[in-house]
Structure 1
Amino acid sequence: MSRTVKTAAPADSTPARARKNRRSVVVPLLLVAVLGGAGALAVTRPWERGESTTGQAPVAHDVVAVGKGSLSTGIQAGGTLGFDKPTPVVATGGGTLTALPAVDTVVRTGGRLYEVDGRPVVLLKGARPMWRDLGPKATDGPDVEQLKRNLIKLGHAEGLGLEADQKFTPGTATAVKRWQKALGVPQTGTVTLGSVVMLPQGTVRVQQVGAQLGAAVGTASVLTVTSTDLVVTVQPAENQLSRFKPNGKVTVKLADGGTVNGRIRSLLRGGTDDGEGGSGDGGSGKTTVTVALDAQGPAKKSGPSSVVVSVVGDSVSDALIVPVTALLALDGGGYGVKVAGGADATAARLVTVRLGLVADAKAQISGDIRAGDQVVVPK
């Protein structure tokens, strides 16, 4: 519990006495700037502004107990929990859309993504989009290798000695026919353009359906799909950016009150689309930070929502902590605090301390002082 002590500046102001008073002065207005969470400390001293430290009106002070606990320079920023890597799916080839998936449908490699002219369009894993028919007459290419990897993974190449190379061999045609039989479509041995969709993710979730049944297949997006993993995106303020470092650790507070740890996966500079081809932030190019989560379970339980991201900074535990307003700037450099010895302010003793971490208007100190000691602070 704090108590109030009133002290008055001495009436006798001889030069020797003034020099003695300058050895330590309680700074009534201590300006602490925590820049970027780094704990930088700046102190304004009255005598450096040419102000007299004598002849002032009585100044009221409080005393507070030296605490013991943890201190951290971490910062917080609002973010959004959502599914990763939204990707538009463009239907190629020709025909009419005859079946579309429901939103939130999960499709795995080899599964049916949608339907054209009554035939399934299948999801396969690959970074290169399909751009031609792949059959016995196809020339060598990386798209052939991509197809063969999928046929091997789906189990249609057993006993064929098929290798994931760039040649469309007779064994490749046999594997394609096996796959077509399993799908219930004509066994031609050729994969026609538009019958498969190659996406880098092996498993996707349907986020949005952008076409209608009966629509003709063209160059427009049919679906938007995402990864099944959730990530957090943040657009920090400019003065927070220095704390967001690649692979840096963060803690995410979820909407349901739970928490999950994560790491900073990427930082992307650029404006947001305002729907008219421009930048929604006036061209300032905000940075979007993507956070990969260490565990998906808690995030999926909470679901897509707004979250709070705490960037892990420097931290200490079991530290002696005082308000920054208790610190005294000493003429010879360094800092001190006044430890109250009772109701009489003249009994307070000056203790030189070493300054540690500074955050949230609190400072870690060490020296000839202990938890529970009463230190003087401006009222």
Structure 2
Amino acid sequence: MRGIASRRTLLVCGGVLIVVVAVGGALGLGGNAEDATENPVQATGATAEVTKGTLTNATTVSGELNHGTETPIALRAGGTVTWLPPEGTVVKRGEPLLRVDDRPVVLLFGDLPAYRDLAEATAPPAPQKAEGDTTPPAPVPPVQPFTGRDVEQFESNLAELGYGGFTVDRTFSAQTTTAVKRWQKDLGAPQTGKVAAGDVVYAAGPLRVAEVLVRPGAPATGDLLSYTGTTRSVRVKVPAAEAGWAAAGTPVLVTLPDGKAVAGTVTSTGTAQAPDAAQPADGAAAPPSVQVVVDIQDQGALGTLDRAPVTVEHVAEKREDVLSVPVAALLALAEGGYGLEVVDGAGTRIVPVETGLFADGRVEVSGTGIEQGRHVRMPG
């Protein structure tokens, strides 16, 4: 029967589109756009405006800006702690990290911990013979120099600090001893030419003192302080099933507590971990999550922030200068596709539309007669 057509209205309920079928014969709605234009019906109910602007499909998660994981520093120097730096202090290569028995414990760079004392090898003293003893002296064993990768690591640091006159290699030589004495003199330490295992601490780079764990006067053993890196970054926990966007190199936008946005880049994504919190009372297990680390290249843009809550936004798709309407305004047409019930004077007509990006409860639309400022009827 001409003049009778079905209309299906798309409703949004809990994130799911529900199709509702209604009969429009009494309204005079035709089965195509031409019929609809010729037979407008009286406009009733709420309407929405067709707007022009930017649609963004983005993922936003909460995170924390900080200096990274805190790592404790343990010493095996013995003695008594006599000075510790204030929390937040940045310690560079060659600078004292603390003082033990009023001697500096110096930060050097490297991946091999200090595990032994280093010094130039010396021959043992000849045994004293009693007067009149004609026994031939025992052979003196050859001197075994201190050699190894730890020697090379230490000498590399000494050279980087400007002390020369020796060859950077795996042997602690007499020339190394001379350079060490000059270094110790500049530090205000006893000029022994020897480097005890407790005189230095090795790390990958400059350290920021995160927390002082003891007070001056405490024994210089065990964990004395903790440190972090010197660069601030953002860490967020994302459900593992939703972390597909968090690949290394992905650009993101980090919003600071004052509303300022700074550029960031995903540097790493951890493996899925079970939640730390107790299982909810309803017995439903929380999904595993991954930790995503975001680097911020412009550290100056962070101002004086040390630790702060932030939000991280990843834009998956962005469409600029497009027309859009609320998703709930879409109609699923009987002949296929989607349409809008456009308010035309005192009546309305169904206009077929092409849809584009869905984002933030709106949808990009285009079609004949769809223009900025038009009003469309919202299903009641």
Structure 2 residue runs without a partner (length 5+): 28-41, 122-144, 280-285
| 1:372 correspondence with 2:373 | yes
Select 1:197's aligned residue among 179, 190, 201: 201
The answer (yes or no) to whether the contact 1:339–1:373 under 8 Å persists in 2 is yes
Q: How big is the shift at 1:294?
A: 2.2
- 1:162 corresponds to which residue? 167
Indicate yes or no: 2:244 matched with 1:247. Answer: no
Q: Is the 8 A contact 1:46 1:53 kept in 2?
A: no
Q: Using the alignment, how far apart are the partners of 1:104 and 1:180 within structure 2? A: 26
Letter in 1 for 2:9: V
The structural deviation recorded for 1:84 is 2.7
Shift of 1:100: 1.4
Given the alignment, which residue of 162, 172, 178 partners 2:182? 178
Q: Which residue of 2 aligns with 1:46?
A: 20
Write the mapping of 1:331-346 to structure 2, written as runs, cut at 5 A: 331-345=334-348
| Distance (Å, rounded) in 1 between the aligned partners of 2:216 and 2:274 | 31
**Which letter does structure 2 place at the counterpart of 1:184?**
G
321 and 166 in structure 1: CA distance in 2 versus 1, 3 angstrom threshold: farther
Which residue of structure 1 lines up, in the alignment, with residue 258 of structure 2? 256
- Which residue number corresponds to residue 49 of structure 2? 65
Deviation at 1:108, TM superposition (A): 1.2
Superposed displacement of residue 199, structure 1 = 0.8
Which runs of 5 or more residues in structure 1 are unaligned?
1-15, 34-41, 274-278
1:306 and 2:306 matched: no
The one-letter code matched in structure 1 to 2:156 is R
1:141 and 2:148 are equivalent in the alignment: yes
Q: Is the 8 A contact 2:57 2:316 kept in 1?
A: yes
Deviates more, 1:113-122 or 1:186-195: 186-195
Check conservation: 1:269, 1:285, Cα contact below 8 A: no
Secondary structure in structure 2 of the residue aligned to 1:77: strand
Distance 1:118 1:318 in 2: 68
Q: How many residues align?
A: 336
- Residues 272-303 of structure 1: CA deviation (Å, up to 9, x unaligned): 99xxxxx4456965322211112111213344
Describe the SS at the equivalent of 1:336.
strand
User: In the alignment, is residue 317 of structure 1 matched against residue 320 of structure 2?
Assistant: yes
2: distance between equivalents of 1:180 and 1:210? Answer: 27
Is the 8 Å Cα contact of residues 60 and 311 (structure 2) preserved in structure 1? Answer: yes
Aligned partner of residue 133 in structure 1, secondary structure = coil
Bigger drift between 291-300 and 118-127 goes to: 291-300
SS for the counterpart of 2:304 is helix
Q: Which has the larger radius of gyration?
A: 2
Give me the whole-angstrom Cα distance separating, in 2, the residues matched to 1:248 and 1:88: 31
Cα distance 1:308–1:187, how it changes in 2: closer, same or farther (>3 A)? same
Q: Percent identity over the alignment?
A: 35
Which residue, 151, 156, 161 being the options, matches 2:158?
A: 151
Question: Per-residue deviation at 1:135?
Answer: 2.3
Q: Sort the Cα spacing of 1:343 and 1:204 in 2 relative to 1 into closer, same or farther, 3 A.
A: same
**One-letter identity of the residue aligned with 1:162:** T
Residues 87 and 311 (structure 1), Cα distance of their counterparts in 2 relative to 1, 3 Å cut: same
Q: 1:54 to 1:352 in 2, by over 3 A?
A: closer
Please list the CA deviations of residues 65-84 of structure 1 after superposition, one character each: whole Å capped at 9, or x if unmatched.
21000111112221111113
Change (3 A) 1:330 1:162: farther
- Cα offset, 1:59, TM superposition: 10
Matched AA of 1:287: V
Which letter does structure 2 place at the counterpart of 1:132? R
Query: What does the per-residue CA deviation read over 1:159-187, in whole Å, with 9 as the maximum and x for residues that have no partner?
Result: x2633x43333333332222112112222
Q: Alpha carbons of 1:280 and 1:167: their partners in 2 closer, same or farther (altered >3 Å)? A: farther
Q: Give CA deviations for 1:294-352 in whole Å, capped at 9, x if unaligned.
A: 2111213344211122122211111111111121223444322232212123xx1x332
TM-score under structure 1 length normalisation: 0.80
Question: Alpha carbons of 1:128 and 1:53: their partners in 2 closer, same or farther (altered >3 Å)?
Answer: farther
Work out whether residues 259 and 298 of structure 1, in 8 Å CA contact, stay in contact via their aligned partners in 2. Answer: no
Amino acid of the residue matched to residue 45 of structure 1? V
Q: Which residue of 2 aligns with 1:79?
A: 63
How has the CA–CA distance of structure 1 residues 329 and 140 changed in structure 2, closer, same or farther, with 3 Å as cutoff?
A: farther
| Greater percentage in strand | 2
